[in-house]
Amino acid sequence: MAANNLYQYSILSALMGGICGTGITVEEILKNGDHGLGTVSNLNGEIVIIDGEAYHFPPGEELRKVEFSDVLPFAMVTRFKPTMEKSLRFLTFNSLPEALETLLPSRQNCFLSIRVDGLFDHLRFRVIAAQSKPRESLAESVRRQKVLTHRDIEGTLFGFWSPAFSGGFSVPGFHLHFLSKSKDRGGHVLEFDSRGARLQAAVLSEYTVKLPQNKDFNEEVIGSVGGADLSAAEK
């Protein structure tokens, strides 16, 4: 896939409904991008892809590099080629829109890829728990998530801005995952404060979604995602 296009496997509505037993292999997803995020079968932790390497953060276990044969029920990837870059003395989750002022709100109805490298004074992230039963919803699994807070930790955030209209397909707004410089910690970012940050971003000109073709995906009608459910599960 060409640079700065977005490739996605499955949709958020399916993940929210607990449809996450099977999926696409890591080998296949890496053919479509070198930066991205996702989760593993049965929601057992978080995935981040940085510089062509995929890492898995299981809850309560050490980070591991994934195998090509590992299966992801949901993933978003891009060949990251930043078109905007700046160095910032300070950056927080809340100040991201201002830092991206050349792209937001002027490109707010586009998908954006975002990377932040730096030292994080404060970083809070979560690692989702595995499903306790088949088709357990994401909202239920999140109740058992592990939330971690770190201070003075170096690393990389990567993720996407998704436009408001994409709800049900992706997470509207910012969706970021973290990988520590030491490559031993990470997860789904809830909040951060950084200093000496390097911010890079790009507008994604094409959006491709591959839908699962398994029985689980087509067994029941997959409805839309309510704002309250999404906020509880992903924010």
As a whole number, mean pLDDT of residues 176-192 equals 96
| Tens-digit pLDDT profile for residues 47-86 | 999 999 999 999 877 889 999 999 999 999 999 999 999 9
The DSSP H or E segment spanning 221 is none
Pairing of strands 6-9, 207-210: parallel
**How many percent of the chain have pLDDT more than 90?**
79
As a whole number, mean pLDDT of residues 17-21 equals 91
Report the pLDDT value the prediction gives residue 227, as an integer from 0 to 100: 60
Report the pLDDT value the prediction gives residue 231, as an integer from 0 to 100: 57
Report whether pLDDT(7) > 80: yes
Report the pLDDT value the prediction gives residue 232, as an integer from 0 to 100: 54
User: Exposure string (b/e) for 174-206, b if CB count within 10 Å is 16 or more?
Assistant: bbbbbbbeeeebbbbbbebbbeebbbbbbebee
Mean pLDDT, all residues of the chain: 93
Q: How confident is the model at residue 226 (pLDDT cuts 50, 70, 90)?
A: low
Q: For the domain with range 6-234, which CATH number is right: 3.40.190.10, 3.40.50.300, 3.10.310.10, 3.30.1330.80?
A: 3.30.1330.80
- 146: helix, strand or coil: strand
For residues 133 and 198, the model is more confident at 198
Q: How confident is the model at residue 235 (pLDDT cuts 50, 70, 90)?
A: low
Tokens read off for 112? 């954006």
Q: How confident is the model at residue 224 (pLDDT cuts 50, 70, 90)?
A: confident
Tokens read off for 116? 């932040």
| Tens-digit pLDDT profile for residues 87-133 | 999 999 999 999 999 999 999 999 999 999 999 999 999 999 999 88
Pairing of strands 35-39, 46-50: antiparallel
Report the pLDDT value the prediction gives residue 83, as an integer from 0 to 100: 96
Threshold 0.75, pTM exceeds: yes
Report the pLDDT value the prediction gives residue 135, as an integer from 0 to 100: 87
Instruction: Please enumerate in sequence order all residues whose Cβ is within 8 A of that of 210, keeping only pairs 6 or more positions apart, or say none.
Output: 7, 8, 9, 10, 24
Q: What are phi and psi of 229, to 5 degrees?
A: -65, -40
The ranges assigned to domains in the chain are 6-234
